């Protein structure tokens, strides 16, 4: 496993996005725990969760509690594992995703996550999404206060613009360490944010990084496969004797030394395969074949 930096910490170059273990279509607990353990066995040390990863209106914090149980039941060393969670979103019973970014809510959410994870301080706490009804600096200020109080060790943002990254940096300084936006062969809207993170030395954590290669947990059942539009990934995978998903993650890792993909998984075999991308180094010629494909719309 190769490693990359998030703040002053070293984490595996490929993390685990744990959301599929707790939302609709989730596996039973035995398989969910086996998936997390397989990630740890493969050298994955970044586990990404959120308080809103649960069924609509049911079992708030399910994913955080699941990860806490998985770590407690793991037979190996977990001291190097970074638990990253998020606050500011909700899942009421109607199936929608709400956004609440008031300082009061974020403080309460962080304290609840702290208890569910069973840690002295949350390793990385991220604003899940800016709330348009709340001044952005007020939401970021809540992260600053949580840092000052020692309830979180590192702070990050999710689903933000380049301007918001700079505004958050003005509040948090070098205690802002990461940005988690959607980015994949199929969705490249966060290109400016990826470039800015590379310039500032912030970790960029692409969520749903396999879009266009695999279906995301957030993709509806009617979404058509876009694999044909990214044929080069599949062709190169056959040539290298690996999965298209590994090629996709290796391509993402090549974009910047600050990129740390967090592919989702609900089976042990899936995360084991994804973790292998950390050791897959693509040549300049291979990357040239993939780049036009990745930019296709």
Annotated catalytic, 74? no
Q: Which residue has the tokens 């990745």?
A: 294
Question: What are the backbone angles phi and psi of residue 127, rounded to the nearest 5°?
Answer: -70, 120
Q: Which residue has the tokens 């996005």?
A: 17
User: Rounded CA gap, 93 and 48, in Å?
Assistant: 23
SS3 letters for 148-176? HCCCEEEEEEECCCHHHHHHHHHHHHHHE
User: Rounded CA gap, 203 and 7, in Å?
Assistant: 8
242 touches 217 (CB < 8 A): no
6 touches 203 (CB < 8 A): yes
Task: State the catalytic residue, choosing from 3, 53, 74, 183.
Answer: 53
Catalytic residue IDs = 53
């Amino acid at each position: 496993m190769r490693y990359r930096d998030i703040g002053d910490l070293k984490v595996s170059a490929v993390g685990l996005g744990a959301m599929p273990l707790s939302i609709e279509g989730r596996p039973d607990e035995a398989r969910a725990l086996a998936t997390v353990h397989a990630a740890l066995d493969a050298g994955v040390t970044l586990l990404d969760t959120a308080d809103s990863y649960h069924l609509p209106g049911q079992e708030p914090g399910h994913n955080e509690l699941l990860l806490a149980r998985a770590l407690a039941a793991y037979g190996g060393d977990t001291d190097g594992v970074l638990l990253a969670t998020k606050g500011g979103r909700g899942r009421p019973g109607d199936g929608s995703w709400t956004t609440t970014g008031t300082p009061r809510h974020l403080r309460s959410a962080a304290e609840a996550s702290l208890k569910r994870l069973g840690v002295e301080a949350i390793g990385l706490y991220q604003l899940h999404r800016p709330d348009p009804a709340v001044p952005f600096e007020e939401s970021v200020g809540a992260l600053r206060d949580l840092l000052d109080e020692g309830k979180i060790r590192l702070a990050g943002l999710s689903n933000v613009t380049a301007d918001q990254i700079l505004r958050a940096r003005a509040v948090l300084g070098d205690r802002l360490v990461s940005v988690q936006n959607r980015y994949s062969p199929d969705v490249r809207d966060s290109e400016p944010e990826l470039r800015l993170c590379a310039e500032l030395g912030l970790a960029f954590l692409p969520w749903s990084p396999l879009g266009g290669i695999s279906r995301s947990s957030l993709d509806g059942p009617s979404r058509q496969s876009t694999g044909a539009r990214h044929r080069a990934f599949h062709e190169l995978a056959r040539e290298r004797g690996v999965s298209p998903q590994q090629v996709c993650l290796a391509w993402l890792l090549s974009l910047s030394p600050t990129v740390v993909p967090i592919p989702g998984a609900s089976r042990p075999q899936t995360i084991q395969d994804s973790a292998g991308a950390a050791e897959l180094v693509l040549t300049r010629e291979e990357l040239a074949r993939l780049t036009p494909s990745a930019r296709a719309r």
